[in-house]
Structure 1
Amino acid sequence: MISLPGYLITEKLSEGTDSFIYRAYRESNQERVMIKISKNEHPSPEEIARFKHESDLLQSLGGSGTVAVKALETDGNQLFLITEEFGTGSLQQILLQRNLTVEEFLLMALRITEALEKLHQHTIIHKDINPTNILWDEATSQAKIIDFGAATTLSREVAEISNPHLMQGGTLYYISPEQTGRMNRGMDYRTDYYSLGVTFYQMVTGVLPFTSDDLGELIHAHIAKMPTPPQEVNTAIPPIISDIIMKLLAKTVEERYQSTYGLKADLRQCLEQLQQTDTINPFPLGLKDVSSRFQLSEKLYGREKELKLLFDACYRASQGPAELMLVTGYPGIGKSALVHELYKPLLEKKGYFIAGKFDPFKRNIPYTALAQAIDAMVKQMLLENELQISLWRDRIQKAVESNGQVAIEIVPLLTEIIGEQPPVPALGSSETQHRFHLVFQRLIQALATPEHPLVIFLDDCQWADIPSIQLLEMLLSHPESHHFLILLTYRENEVDANHILTLALNKLKKIGLMIEPMVL
């Protein structure tokens, strides 16, 4: 048990992905408090910033839907977030102790929804709703939500899983499809409804809708698989409650509840029926579910033909030689949105989708977009379990041999996979370029396999630098390049006959490379 000057720690309340929460007394006045502390004895600047961010969010809420913050204190290198004490225990502790009756579930679900509503009224997306982060007080039948380390005040953002800590503590079992970072969808307050649905599912069945030790399988389940309805897992659950939970677990945000008001109305109707008649009859869901926010749908319409071309090219490349596909059109026509639709089918094949974007202000820095793409791949690798990371380490090291430093100079994060590499001998300019091309081709080939096909998406190629285009030309013409698809998007009105991209494409056509053009 930790010690903190001025406080007496009495109990560990919960353990999150990177922190502990304890109950304690303030020694000066015997006030009961809760203390959140980082697991890391020497927290990084990022962790410190997260603690301060959480303190600011809690202060802005003023105890509405959550616990009131008392202080943010330090002891040496450590930060301690001191809040009011609340509750009998976490929802997780309660679920471990006993099964809930239907009436208990409905009452708790209502109170948890009310707490979440208060967060959303302050435009806060929690992004980590799960039983560990919900406190329940038996005496008052009230719920509060804690642990705002992942929370944001943005009304909408694009998610990306680039944090290995997500897999620890089971957080990934509760995240929404759009929160996986593998869908072409933004993330708003409705992401919390999906996580709430997973929590409700666990409350009524005692199990999670999806479980797997394989990261790819778990993400694929969130994106594409329908969970077994709760009523089929626990036949004591009335069908209408099962339907409410399944609505929360809808894959697209448009099919979920659109407001806590609508969800509360349905839960309240179930509770009133149960208390008055001892049964719950079916009724239409969502009759009072009207969002107070204007939300544009992100569903892609009218692109079935183009999507089929993309899917077919992806399938062919996964089975054989590398392919190139071009998507052109004017700015804002939807090139990037279309390409990102490959996420879902690629995930079904346990493939990888990585992306980079050329920047008109960085054309003097070679390989920036490709470096972004490989960096994204490494981040996905780091989310895997230790065995899978070890397999990747062996595969990449075998491919780059003694030239690992060449790859690390472009993608420094590779050090996290293959470790520090010996320096490479200095060569002339042409020999250095040849060595770099060789190492990069072998690296890509190590990443792209029949079991894990690869899609490399490079956006805004009208601003591509010459070395990047030369490298792509080499990759696509190399006889050993297999199992990956390169997707290039560019503005057709900015790429003329003398553009470096046009010249490279002409060369590739002459050697017989299959190039699929698509004009939007």
Structure 2
Amino acid sequence: STLIESIAMLSFSTNSESTGRLADTTGISFVHEGSSYRTFRLDDPERKHGGQSGSVAIKAFSDQFPDEEEISRLENEHNVLKYLANRSGAGAALNQTLRSGAAAIYLDWVEGITLKEWIRTTNSEKTSDLKRIRNVLQNITYGLLDIHDAGVVHNNIRAEHIIIPPEEDSPVKFISFGSASFLAADGKSSPDARRHDLMSLGFVFYEIISGKSSRRKSHSQSLFSNNDNESKEDEGQNDESKLHISHPEVYSALVGKMPIPFMRIIMALIEANITTKRYQTASEVYQDLNHSNTFLLDSKMSTYAGQLHFSQDELYGRSDHLTAIMNVSQRMYSDRSPQVILVSGFSGTGKSALIKHASEILAKEGHYFTSGKFDQFGQAEPFSTIIDAFNGYFRTVMQSGEEIISNTKASLLRTIGSEVGVLTNIFPSLVEVIGTPVTDPAQVGFPESQNRLDFLFGLMISAIATPSQPLVLFLDDLQWADITSISF
């Protein structure tokens, strides 16, 4: 902590020329000066400060009196990097001091050069090739995927904030996490939470391929400028579409420089109007880049302009079928009666995908959806698919909150009464909802037992499927259903 404070004080008491000579006596060297921060490198071969690389980066304020927002940003960067310590897409934070006038953070040193420098060198040497560029694009995307998977969004992705390692097989690292934020812990973050990062990634890709800055002149100098003070610490979360050049400018600069599949990825990332594709996750981008290797190996495919991308999240050519399912759902509401839909077709024609898409829509409208799949070799276990489906329903109820659990329990006990034990013997998960029945069901012969089960099963359905919470039961591969299940 004392060393951090000493360097923090040195940051604004010594000019950058003289700090460059510190390494001769202290092992400390000046690395970079931005608009708000100075960065130093401390040699730490014995790893006394907890780093893994043998060196430590120390980030301190240039101004002796930074405002609260700047201090908060530095603290946020430390906290986020502490959280990402075991992730390959970011370096690790080691220590910090936030004392007034001496705020600074220790970071494990990340070996390599910024992507901005890499682009400048690659273009000046005219050494770029498609495979090398694809590898860099893929490595950057994997780094971002790793960060997003950890539940963090960067919010300030640009070429200056990405470190390219000396070895091609080493992971790319992101830096400057002052504006980073955490995704919702329950995994229900809006896709927009990642949208800013993905759009920024698209403009970074543009810069890699074109060698030109994607930023408007009022926001940035040329990528080939020698002035590295260019707002490296500008951590604001701005509207990317206003900061960057227009989509037509991006398109015209890329035409002829990359195969069409790569262009489509970039145009989708920056959400250009010429494509309807929108990426929701970095994983989708990574998969597309991985598949693009095929185009590099086949020159004819590389220049083929008709390549299309079909998202796994979209349903194509089934709007009429989807409408028919929704119409049946509405009829169930209006008639207050059960409805049956049979979806037929050859194997692999998308029947299950259609139902999955419909179920997502119905779930948003308040339907409970449960499913079971019949098996060609499972017919020896009568009724097992139905049992699995309703056990799944009861498990869903148990995850839906106390009010729904209480209402479902009350409805079942009120409707079925003392005979509920017959059903708990069939559906074990029902016990989780209503508890263990007080009385055991009366013993009866087989015909009476079957009739009783049929009757009580109907009561159970009427208790859990209501106008306010309709129940949708999807039974897949009905051709393999056993006789007992069909009789229900």
Between the two structures, name the one with larger relative contact order (CA 8 Å, sep ≥ 6).
1
Q: Give TM-score, length-normalised by structure 2.
A: 0.47
